[in-house]
Homo-oligomer: A and B are copies of this chain.
Amino acid sequence: MNNVFVIGVGLIGGSLCLDIKKIFPDIKIHGIDVSEETLDLAIKLNLIDYKSNFKELYKGDLIFIATPVDIANNIIIDVLDIINEKTLVIDFGSTKSNICNKVTDHKNRRNYLASHPIAGTEFSGPESAFSGLFNDKTIILCDIEKTDQKLLKTAEDIFRSINMNIRYMDSLSHDKHIAYVSHLSHISSFMLGKTVMDKEKNENNIFDMAGSGFESTVRLAKSSPDMWTPIFKLNKDNIVESLDEYIMNLKNFKSLIQNDDFTQLKNQMKKTNYIKNILKGLN
């Protein structure tokens, strides 16, 4: 392993660079990004060794795509066109079936592995990157039977060596589950932020009361619109379905309050408390 290319040197790509350097101290990391400023910063922060471009990709032993999902979808064919026969290409996007469909008939399909690391913060850009972002986090690998088994093994070894927990899922199921467990959380948080800001013209009221649960629940509303808009676009159907169910549950909860059915309300909350048991061990 001599040359790694990271396309998109933001929070995810940048943090990965730091981890990759730890496990392969002699490796050369080449960064590609639409923003020259981002690349300059990534060099200054020692995330990458060289600024690079698509023409150089044929040199890569390993290529990580850590761009917003729409860009990953737009460039994946170009990347697969240019690589050598031993290159492993891994993308990190939060939606998977679309990109998997896109490459399905490509001659280099077996050089590609669809992945989704369940890791991140509400911050973005190379300045947010840190070593350890992936430590003890889940990475979901999709449709692995379509990847060359030797390359897959290489990928698994890398993810295990940065202490990630590997799970396997087909790309359609991934998109369905992630709509509920991740994408819906972001929308609920964005809309909570919007509702409160629309109402509270006096920002001090928000600030003073934010410690009462608002701050943590609204955290995801700080997330990058450039990253999330394409996710909502590419996982549209699953997200609309999850939103319908969320809205239905909220309406039902509202009716229970309006009808003074506080016994039923309490029962519903008690049942939902079971989430404690499911999440146990995450902290």
Contacts and interface: CB of A to CB of B under 8 A. Distances in A.
Contacts of A260: 233
Contacts of A192: 184-185, 188, 246
Interface in A197-220: 197-200, 203, 205-220
B229 A220 contact: no
Contacts of A221: 269, 272-273, 275
B182 A212 contact: yes
Nearest to A178: B209
Interface in A144-176: 165, 167
| Copies of this chain, tallied across the complex | 2
A266 to B, nearest CB: 4
A197 B275 contact: yes
B257 A239 contact: yes
A191 B119 CA distance: 23
B240 A251 contact: no
Interface string A95-132: 00000000000000000000000111000000000000
Nearest to A123: B276
B253 A218 contact: no
Given A191-B246, A266-B225, A200 B177 contact: yes
Contacts of A188: 188-189, 191-192, 217, 250
Contacts of A220: 213, 216-217
A260 B220 CA distance: 22
A149 B101 CA distance: 71
Interface string A52-68: 00000000000000000
A88 interface: no
A236 B265 CA distance: 13
A255 to B, nearest CB: 10
A41 interface: no
A123 B29 CA distance: 45
Contacts of A216: 216-217, 219-220
A247 interface: yes
Given A120-B212, A215-B279, A226-B266, 16 more contacts: A118-B212, A119-B212, A138-B208, A181-B205, A182-B209, A188-B192, A190-B269, A195-B246, A197-B278, A222-B275, A223-B269, A232-B257, A233-B262, A236-B257, A243-B253, A243-B257
